Amino acid sequence: MIHLFRLLSIYVIPLFVLIPIIAGIIKYKHLTIPLKVIFYLMLFYAVIAGIGSVQLAHHISSKIVADINGFIDFPVISAFYILILNRKWRIPVIIIAIVYAIFWVADFFIERNSPQNIYPIIYESIFIMLYAVIYMNQQTQINVEKRWSENSFNWINSGFFIYVASTLLMYTFYDLMLQMQLNAIFLVLWIINDVTLGLLYILIAIGFNKCRQ
Looking at the structure of the chain, the number of domains it has is 1
Q: How far apart are CA 69 and CA 47, in angstroms?
A: 10
Q: How far apart are CA 11 and CA 144, in angstroms?
A: 41
Residues in the chain: 213
Please tell me the number of Cα atoms within 13 Å of 203 on its side-chain side. 19
pLDDT, one tens digit per residue, over 172-196 is 887 776 666 667 777 788 888 889 9
**Taken in order 16, 81, 68, 4, is the CA torsion positive or negative?**
negative
Of all residues in the chain, the percent with pLDDT exceeding 90 is: 53
- Residue 110 structural domain: 2-210
- Whole-number pLDDT of residue 73: 92
DSSP element (H, E) containing 47? helix 33-57
pLDDT, one tens digit per residue, over 130-154 is 999 999 999 887 756 568 888 999 9
pTM for this prediction: 0.90
